[in-house]
């Protein structure tokens, strides 16, 4: 291809000026006098335009259409933009930038800020979270009642047996991953005064109203509070966290940008892992969790105590029951008890579960009784005549209806027909009276 001539260049410049003037919104078209590259956002088109003013011809040799992405970058055509504000200013839009979603770079930069995360309660769930935080290149320090020095070292975290030492490391965020039952006592004895002022305190308890109230009562006013509930655990979240729900409530976050960014940074870890981010009040969480999570744990525990085993003819449904048992049986009883004790909606859900179970059972037994009744009223060899005879022979003044009603009463009260079917059906009714 021949190199562009002066007239080619002028023509292209004119085209580009017209095009860009129509595609870049007025706000973005007012750019400063600065002599080097400055970046402004062309928000209306969802693209980013790099404006150049007063730069050299070589520098200016980058152009493209911001709106339709048709790039002249390959031939590097210089351009001159005419704008309402400064008609002699020049700019170009880089292809790479134009293809990026608006504001992505700023968001990524925010998330890139690494946090020093302190975990209080380094049990099953605390360690599970720590591993993922470390994978995401955050610094993790931990403290707990037990000795987790080795476990921490193995995953690349630092462990402080003494909570004072832990707090003096001044983590950006402190996450309580203690059992629901022990959280109140742990907070009461926790040396919060040794933490940095404005520390962000979060929790991952499976109930939410309780820690929210506890934090609001016990933490200094200048601490930020974020209540979290990752609705998954070491088993269900062993692999990817994609689409797993993370419920959060920004209970108290200071106005300063840095404090809001810190919260976003922490939430960003879960978002970047693919979690489904659900912002919800702690109260609403507890209402919904009682009828979902608590019931799941209860049914899992019930089935677990039945010791269900693999069979050679497992159906998909049965396998999901086995999975449910698997997913819940590794959780501590403290956790399950906490779900019950510290969620005021749990008792009601437990009652509903019990009622539903009795209703289903009653349905089965009602059907069974109906079958038995039908059976009683339609028995070979027990014609009304025969039954009557049998009772007369036994010296009882009972008609056929009376006899059958008596049998039905028996079934209703005991669930079974006492004695053999023959006995009640009047087989041999000619010879002897049915037993009662």
Positions touching ligand NAP (CB under 6 A) are 121-126, 144-146, 177-180, 182, 186, 204-206, 230, 233, 331-332, 334-335, 338
Closest separation between CB of residue 200 and ligand NAP, Å? Answer: 18
Closest separation between CB of residue 205 and ligand NAP, Å? Answer: 4
For ligand NAP, which is the closer residue by CB, 78 or 121? 121
For ligand NAP, which is the closer residue by CB, 95 or 280? 280
Closest separation between CB of residue 121 and ligand NAP, Å? Answer: 3
For ligand NAP, which is the closer residue by CB, 163 or 434? 163
Closest separation between CB of residue 154 and ligand NAP, Å? Answer: 16
Distances (CA, A) of 233 to 236, 238, 335, 346: 5, 8, 12, 20
Closest separation between CB of residue 338 and ligand NAP, Å? Answer: 6
Closest separation between CB of residue 178 and ligand NAP, Å? Answer: 4
For ligand NAP, which is the closer residue by CB, 331 or 400? 331
The residue number with the shortest CB distance to ligand NAP is: 233
For ligand NAP, which is the closer residue by CB, 102 or 232? 232
For ligand NAP, which is the closer residue by CB, 334 or 396? 334
């Amino acid at each position: 291809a021949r190199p562009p001539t002066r007239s080619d260049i002028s023509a292209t410049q004119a085209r580009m000026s017209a095009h860009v003037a129509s595609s870049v919104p007025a706000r973005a078209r007012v750019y400063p006098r600065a002599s080097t590259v400055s970046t402004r956002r062309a928000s209306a088109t969802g693209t980013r335009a790099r404006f150049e003013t007063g730069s050299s011809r070589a520098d200016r040799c980058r152009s493209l259409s911001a709106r339709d992405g048709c790039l002249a970058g390959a031939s590097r055509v210089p351009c001159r933009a005419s704008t309402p504000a400064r008609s002699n200013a020049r700019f170009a839009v880089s292809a790479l930038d134009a293809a990026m979603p608006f504001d992505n770079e700023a968001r990524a930069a925010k998330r890139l800020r690494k946090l020093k995360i302190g975990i209080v309660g380094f049990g099953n769930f605390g360690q599970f979270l720590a591993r993922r935080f470390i994978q995401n290149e955050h610094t993790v320090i931990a403290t707990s009642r037990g000795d987790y020095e080795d476990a921490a070292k193995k995953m690349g975290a630092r462990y402080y047996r003494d909570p004072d030492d832990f707090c003096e490391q001044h983590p950006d965020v402190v996450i309580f991953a203690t059992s629901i039952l022990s959280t109140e006592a742990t907070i009461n004895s926790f040396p919060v005064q040794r933490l940095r002022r404005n520390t962000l305190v979060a929790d991952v308890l499976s109930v939410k109203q309780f820690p929210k109230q506890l934090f609001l009562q016990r933490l200094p006013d200048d601490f930020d509070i974020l209540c979290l509930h990752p609705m998954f655990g070491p088993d269900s979240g062993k692999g990817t966290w994609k689409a797993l729900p993370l419920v959060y409530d920004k209970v108290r976050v200071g106005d300063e940008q840095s404090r809001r960014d810190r919260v976003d940074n922490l939430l960003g870890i879960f978002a970047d892992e693919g979690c489904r981010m659900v912002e919800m009040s702690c109260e609403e969480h507890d209402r919904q969790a009682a009828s979902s999570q608590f019931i799941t744990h209860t049914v899992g525990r019930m089935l677990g105590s039945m010791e269900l085993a693999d069979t050679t003819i497992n159906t998909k449904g049965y396998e999901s029951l086995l999975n449910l048992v698997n997913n819940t049986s590794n959780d501590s009883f403290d956790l399950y008890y906490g779900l019950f004790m510290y969620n005021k909606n749990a008792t009601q859900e437990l009652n509903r579960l019990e009622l539903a179970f009795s209703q289903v059972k009653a349905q089965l037994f009602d059907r069974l009784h109906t079958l038995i009744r039908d059976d009683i009223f339609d028995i070979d060899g027990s014609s009304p005549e025969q039954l009557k005879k049998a009772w007369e022979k036994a010296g009882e003044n009972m008609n056929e209806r009376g006899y059958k009603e008596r049998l039905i009463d028996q079934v209703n009260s005991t669930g079974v027909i006492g004695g053999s079917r023959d006995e009640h059906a009047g087989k041999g009714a000619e010879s002897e009276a049915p037993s009662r």
